């Protein structure tokens, strides 16, 4: 084989995913098992349940990705696996499976930082050179970073409390949107986006906290509490119990979506100005990459587009299937590291890992 080929394995949260990707960015094979349906029923991820489901699926998922690629495992250049951050119990399943495979196939191992993989995904689909700015907004993550090289990140800001997707999920749960006939199968964030289209964001007037802080950090619990107060008040006014759908649910969804977009755009604006003032980003055509489940929200994306247009930047988003957790980004991060020659472990003894 002329090209390097990497098998990527991801189990950091609630998706068991694997993919085989080559140096030119061709996805040779991929497979994914999502646990979303199980966790929706329990109202959140219970780590031992996630661990058990990863255990039940990992072998099959990796096998499916390898078979679809129709390469022989001996043709792999390396195996790349998410080692952090994430749920320890979930990460452990992917890691011990990978190390077993690494031992069997005698291949180099590339430990992957989940956020680095999210940030580099855009280079698989588009020609994006370093440096660029990345905004990762999902259910578990919220950060702004300057990507200067494959493993050279400058963290500019993060959430001081919860991630925006987590906040949207909590609001959706408080609104019982799972009982709403139009949104029963959607994630919290998606349900909010769907309902917001029918709502009026001017109906409630709220000012979220941390708007003026002189850094790029985020906070979403303040907004969550403001929205909770509105919900409690509306329940009283409409004379309904918690657990029933409010007639003003769509207005509340529009309000929380709009305010979330404002919060995200304001912090991102600061990051762009900070980098440009210090010549860390080109003055014209600097790239802002937005990724993560929340970045698939069209309202938030449009708000970011208005920001990038006003600051001579270009907004780029990986396709939706690569915005959420997947094995392709892990394999691609492995390729990037192989090409840069960083973080490749050739000796399994190099890997200090204590199985739980
Ligand atoms: O990237 P992702 O799958 O990874 C995790 O963090 O697990 O993101 C999932 C998060 C959830 O919190 C979900 O509510 C949110 O992204 N999300 C959305 C949308 N679709 C998913 N938030 C806002 N608008 C959406 N359309």
Tens of pLDDT along 202-249? 989 888 766 678 899 999 999 999 999 999 999 999 999 888 999 999
Residue 185 in domain: yes
Residue 295 in domain: yes
Do both 279 and 334 map to the same domain?
Answer: no
For the stretch 257-266, what's the b/e string if a residue is b when 16 or more beta carbons lie within 10 angstroms of its beta carbon? bbbbbbbbbb
CA of 185 to the centre of ligand 1 (A): 13
**Closest ligand 1 atom, CA of 15?**
7
Average the pLDDT over 304-323 and give the result. 95
Do both 139 and 268 map to the same domain?
Answer: yes
Do both 288 and 327 map to the same domain?
Answer: no
CATH number of domain containing 216: 3.30.420.40
Residue 356 in domain: no
**Closest ligand 1 atom, CA of 292?**
1
Q: Is the pLDDT of residue 280 over 90?
A: yes
Residue 127 in domain: no
**Closest ligand 1 atom, CA of 13?**
7
Residue nearest to atom 22 of ligand 1 (CA): 189
Residue 126 in domain: no
Residue 46 in domain: yes
Q: Which two tokens stand for residue 109?
A: 């191992």
Do both 206 and 343 map to the same domain?
Answer: no
Do both 106 and 142 map to the same domain?
Answer: no
**Closest ligand 1 atom, CA of 168?**
14
Range of the structural domain that residue 206 is part of? 132-317
Do both 301 and 277 map to the same domain?
Answer: yes
Do both 109 and 153 map to the same domain?
Answer: no
CA of 5 to the centre of ligand 1 (A): 30
Residue 355 in domain: no
CA of 137 to the centre of ligand 1 (A): 8
Probe ligand 1: pick from 85, 138, 292, max atoms within 8 Å of CB?
138
**pLDDT at residue 245, rounded to an integer:** 93
Do both 114 and 210 map to the same domain?
Answer: no
The model's confidence at residue 1, banded by pLDDT at 50, 70 and 90, is low
Do both 262 and 151 map to the same domain?
Answer: yes
Residue 203 in domain: yes
**pLDDT at residue 3, rounded to an integer:** 87
Judge if the beta carbon of residue 15 lies within 6 A of ligand 1. Answer: no
The model's confidence at residue 355, banded by pLDDT at 50, 70 and 90, is very low
Q: What is the ipTM of this complex?
A: 0.97
Overall number of domains in the chain? 2
Main-chain dihedrals φ then ψ at residue 31, nearest 5 degrees: -155, 150
**pLDDT at residue 251, rounded to an integer:** 97
The 10s digit of each residue's pLDDT in 315-352 is: 999 998 898 889 999 999 999 999 999 999 987 666 65
Judge if the beta carbon of residue 13 lies within 6 A of ligand 1. Answer: yes
**pLDDT at residue 356, rounded to an integer:** 41
Residue nearest to atom 13 of ligand 1 (CA): 189
- Report the C-alpha dihedral over residues 126, 286, 116, 146, rounded to 10 degrees: 170
CA distances from residue 219 to 99, 142, 165, 225, 260 in whole angstroms, order as listed: 37, 9, 12, 12, 10
Do both 114 and 231 map to the same domain?
Answer: no
Judge if the beta carbon of residue 190 lies within 6 A of ligand 1. Answer: yes
Do both 308 and 205 map to the same domain?
Answer: yes
Do both 282 and 137 map to the same domain?
Answer: yes
């Amino acid at each position: 084989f002329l090209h390097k080929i990497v098998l990527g394995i991801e189990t950091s949260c609630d998706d068991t995913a694997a993919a085989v990707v080559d140096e030119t960015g061709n996805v040779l094979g991929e497979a994914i098992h999502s646990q979303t349906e199980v966790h929706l029923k329990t109202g959140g991820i219970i780590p031992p349940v996630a661990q058990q489901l990863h255990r039940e699926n990992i072998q099959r998922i990796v096998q499916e990705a390898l078979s679809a690629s129709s390469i022989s495992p001996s043709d792999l250049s390396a195996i790349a696996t998410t080692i952090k951050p994430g749920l320890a119990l979930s990460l452990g399943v992917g890691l011990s499976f990978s190390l077993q495979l690494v031992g069997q196939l005698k291949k180099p191992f590339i430990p992957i930082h989940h956020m680095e993989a999210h940030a580099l995904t855009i280079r698989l689909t588009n020609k994006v050179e370093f440096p660029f700015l990345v905004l990762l907004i999902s259910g578990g993550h919220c950060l702004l970073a300057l990507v200067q090289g494959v493993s050279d990140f400058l963290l500019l800001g993060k959430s001081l409390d919860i991630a925006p997707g987590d906040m949207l999920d909590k609001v959706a749960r408080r609104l019982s949107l799972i009982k709403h006939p139009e949104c029963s199968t959607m994630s919290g964030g998606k349900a909010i986006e769907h309902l917001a289209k029918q709502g009026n964001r001017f109906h409630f007037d709220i000012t979220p906290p941390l708007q003026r802080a002189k850094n790029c950090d985020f906070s979403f619990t303040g907004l969550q509490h403001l929205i909770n107060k509105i919900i409690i008040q509306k329940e009283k006014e409409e004379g309904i119990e918690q657990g029933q759908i409010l007639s003003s649910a769509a207005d509340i969804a529009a309000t929380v979506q709009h305010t979330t977009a404002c919060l995200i755009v304001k912090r991102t604006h600061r990051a762009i100005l900070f980098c440009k003032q210090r010549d860390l980003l080109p003055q014209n055509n600097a790239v802002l990459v937005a990724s993560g489940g929340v970045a698939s929200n069209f309202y938030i994306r449009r708000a970011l587009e208005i920001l990038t247009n006003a600051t001579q930047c270009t907004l780029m988003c990986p396709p939706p299937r690569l915005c959420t957790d997947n094995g392709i980004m892990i394999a691609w991060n492995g390729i990037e590291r192989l090409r840069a020659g960083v973080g490749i472990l050739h000796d399994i003894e190099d890997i200090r890992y204590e199985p739980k």
